[in-house]
Structure 1
Amino acid sequence: MQPRRVAMISLHTSPLDQPGTGDAGGMNVYVIELARRLAQRGTEVDVFTRATSSRLAPVVDCGDGVKVRHVTAGPFEGLTKSELPAQLCTFAREVLRAEAVEAVGHYDVVHSHYWLSGQVGALARDRWRVPLVHSMHTMAKVKNAALAEGDVPEPPARVLGEQQVVAAADMLVANTDQEAKQLINLYDADPGRVEVVHPGVDLTVFRPRDRAVARAGLGLPQDAHVVLFAGRIQALKGPEVLLRAIAHLLAGAPDLRSRLVVPVVGGPSGSGLDKPEALASLTDELGLGDVVRFVPPVAQAELARWYAAASVVAVPSYNESFGLVAAEAQASGTPVVAAAVGGLTTVVDHGRSGLLVEGHAVDAWAAALRRVLTEDGLHARLAAGAVAWARGFGWERTAAQTLEVYRRAHDALRDPLGRRAGLDGMLR
């Protein structure tokens, strides 16, 4: 059975927000792109998200079967992610109210994203008698096991909330095999209810382009070594690792300095919001003011030009459930140097589409970057391999596999012995 209509819940961040700052990132891209591809296959999608401005329309019709519904729950501005659990009851009530005005059976599936949404999704599932499919995106236990220096651990309340959602979901979608194992080993998820579905890349937007044209349009020198960082500026993403590696690289190869450009495309997020100038201060401290360029978050089409203009994209994260930046960069024909953590070990084909670095030691990162920039023939081989590897991550495949997960969730719901327990009292 293919569902006619899916209620997606993305409570803490809207798929309409600009990725790269605040709480907006790869999950935002995931939700809107998956919704669009499902709609193209005949399944309409309503995305419920918390309204963050009184100026937002209650419903935004994105066209072609996708609508974003802004739910009023708490003050429009000023709430941090840690304060959102207090608004779960209000948010859930408004979601149920929105469905109540429709005909019985309006939604066939609830698909929640991130643990906060999963708590609301479990309540909606029990009220509407439809299956709950949940995507974690990130997990507290995983993040806390690999904290970056200066980062703040996730609280016990989130760990408990995640365990409750894992227990309640009819099906869990994991981005990679490693995430599936983490769900099973760390959260005691039923292996039969965990399915691996890789996120996708819009291969029409992120594709190989003429590098000279891209650089000319962005004001970059044609002969430059461009080492790009793209994403939210927070400790988890490791931008300071890249800057220290660049300083180490230049100390050993000062002749590269005149040609080196390091664009940092993104804005503060998470713990980075507490010290929004910290990365700029580190840049000055390391004497890299003539090398590093800070660029505000940009739209997908513009980001594709930055990828195409880069010599290499650095992804020094301490953890990634998938690693969308690495996938997008490779689809654009640009090699990646990434940390060998989380989903990046799936997204990057080491030695063929990019290089994986074990750990975050500055000398190891500097050596890997230097190889891609200067080793004879390596960049060309990796660039060709990057395009070929990225072809396996199209959104169309993601949508097809997600629809199969929905079918399995319906089967689990119809089987009284296989039905997960509800979250009775969770939101009280």
Structure 2
Amino acid sequence: MKKIVVFSNMYPSKQHPTFGLFVKNQVDLLQSAGQAVDVIAIDNPDKGKLTALKKYMSWFLRSCIYMLKNRKQLALTHAHYAFPTGVLSLVGKKMLGIPYVVTVHGGDIDKMAAKNVRIRNFTRKILQQGEAVIVVGEKLKNDVILRFGVPESKVHILSMGVNTTIFKPAAKKEVREELNLSIEEKVILFVGNVIKAKGLLELVEAFEMVKSTTPNAALYLVGSQKDTAFVEELQSFIQERKVEGIHFKSAVGQADLARWMSAADIVALPSHHEGFGLVALEAMATGTKVVATDVGGLSYLLSDGAGILVEPKNTVSLAEGLKKALDPTMLSINEVAVQQRVTANSFDSILQALLSIYHKAGKI
């Protein structure tokens, strides 16, 4: 069996266990199915011009040497993110004839390609010359086809998948005891990087409105706090408004994250943009209600009554959605739609679809 190599500019390490964890999960899934997979990735999220230059130069050099040494054993390369990662796969195809697949996650299209004409043109070339382009949501599929000229026949919608052996319903009382949470609290949970684009300023303001009618509400923000400037801005915003009941928690592993989701009354995702919204899917798999903005993949995941969709960057709409989710007399979640989304994006379903794409692209 020929092997594949996965390139990614995000991958977890012992020091940064959640950095690009979704890529590692997919690699583990492939390896568990017997597919030979090597990984060459950046596992250091540290920023700064000099740091970035060193780590990207080292990564590109290691990747090129790897392809030169292993070109006869490789069926294909798989790049996560069109730019800059896709440049490696493009070089491998041009110089060594190695076919490739590229996964578009959202930021590489919405933000990176918009930086300048050069990056946009590189992105277009990478997407057009790949054997297959995987996108994690319907909106991204339309963008790839309409904005970057990729034939529809080459574009596949495929999320990173949810591990339903980890993310599954658990008794709320038991997990709250494990996490030292009061059973009386109405727990609103946010999971993700603590950055402005996740809509956290709006969430704090909306939570303040919720507290006026639900005094026992509590908001837990679980995730990486590496954007220290924004964390300070957010904390100042909370202090200025004198909002009580907001708690910051560091990023946790998947097993602990599943417990947090099961313990919550609501998982809130007020993102300004979201390629797919894996956190929402994971919450749905635990049986917890989701309130999220009507953007990107969230629009699909929570459609048909699978959750509550609110207007992006609209504090009042977000507050109304949270209040509705907390009031059992006002909300009826479509459990059939929830189960359909979870099943369609389970690891088993994703694995079969991914292997099918690989077979067509690289004859593995």
Q: Supply the distance in 2 between the matched residues of 1:296 and 1:360 (Cα, whole angstroms).
A: 25
Contact 2:132–2:155 (CA under 8 A) maintained in structure 1:
yes
Show CA shifts across 1:382-406 (max 9, x none): 5686455422211121121111112
1:46 is the counterpart of 2:7 = no
Q: Residues 104-143 of structure 1: matches in 2 within 5 Å?
A: 105-114=72-81, 115-139=83-107, 142-143=110-111
* Paired AA for residue 218 in structure 2: V
Secondary structure, counterpart of 2:93 in structure 1: helix
Can you give the 5+ residue segments of structure 2 that lack an aligned partner in the other structure?
Answer: none
Secondary structure, counterpart of 1:189 in structure 2: coil
Match of 1:283 among 229, 238, 244: 238
TM-score, normalised by the number of residues in structure 1: 0.77
Q: What corresponds to 1:4 in structure 2?
A: 2
Instruction: From the superposition, tell whether residues 247 and 154 of structure 1 become closer, same or farther in structure 2 (CA, over 3 Å).
Output: farther
Q: What corresponds to 2:319 in structure 1?
A: 366
Show CA shifts across 1:220-279 (max 9, x none): 11021101001001111111111111112334x2xx11x11100001235xx34333121
Q: Residues 181-330 of structure 1: matches in 2 within 5 Å?
A: 181-251=142-212, 253=213, 256-257=214-215, 259-269=216-226, 272-288=227-243, 290-330=244-284
RMSD: 2.7
Q: CA deviation at 1:297?
A: 0.6
TM-score, normalised by the number of residues in structure 2: 0.90
Secondary structure, counterpart of 2:343 in structure 1: helix
Q: CA deviation at 1:170?
A: 1.8
Comparing both chains, which one has the higher relative contact order based on Cα–Cα distances under 8 Å and sequence gaps of 6 or more? 1
Q: CA deviation at 1:136?
A: 1.7
Instruction: From the superposition, tell whether residues 183 and 213 of structure 1 become closer, same or farther in structure 2 (CA, over 3 Å).
Output: same
Contact 1:141–1:186 (CA under 8 A) maintained in structure 2:
no
Contact 2:194–2:230 (CA under 8 A) maintained in structure 1:
no
Show CA shifts across 1:398-419 (max 9, x none): 12111111222237xxxxxxxx
Instruction: From the superposition, tell whether residues 219 and 157 of structure 1 become closer, same or farther in structure 2 (CA, over 3 Å).
Output: farther
Instruction: From the superposition, tell whether residues 341 and 36 of structure 1 become closer, same or farther in structure 2 (CA, over 3 Å).
Output: same
Can you give the 5+ residue segments of structure 1 that lack an aligned partner in the other structure?
Answer: 53-75, 146-152, 412-428
Q: Supply the distance in 2 between the matched residues of 1:161 and 1:247 (Cα, whole angstroms).
A: 44
Instruction: From the superposition, tell whether residues 274 and 154 of structure 1 become closer, same or farther in structure 2 (CA, over 3 Å).
Output: farther
Q: What corresponds to 1:65 in structure 2?
A: none
Instruction: From the superposition, tell whether residues 346 and 90 of structure 1 become closer, same or farther in structure 2 (CA, over 3 Å).
Output: same
* Paired AA for residue 174 in structure 2: V
Q: CA deviation at 1:339?
A: 0.5
Contact 1:8–1:48 (CA under 8 A) maintained in structure 2:
yes
Instruction: From the superposition, tell whether residues 88 and 221 of structure 1 become closer, same or farther in structure 2 (CA, over 3 Å).
Output: closer
Aligned length: 361
Show CA shifts across 1:347-389 (max 9, x none): 22342x211113321111111110110141736x456864554
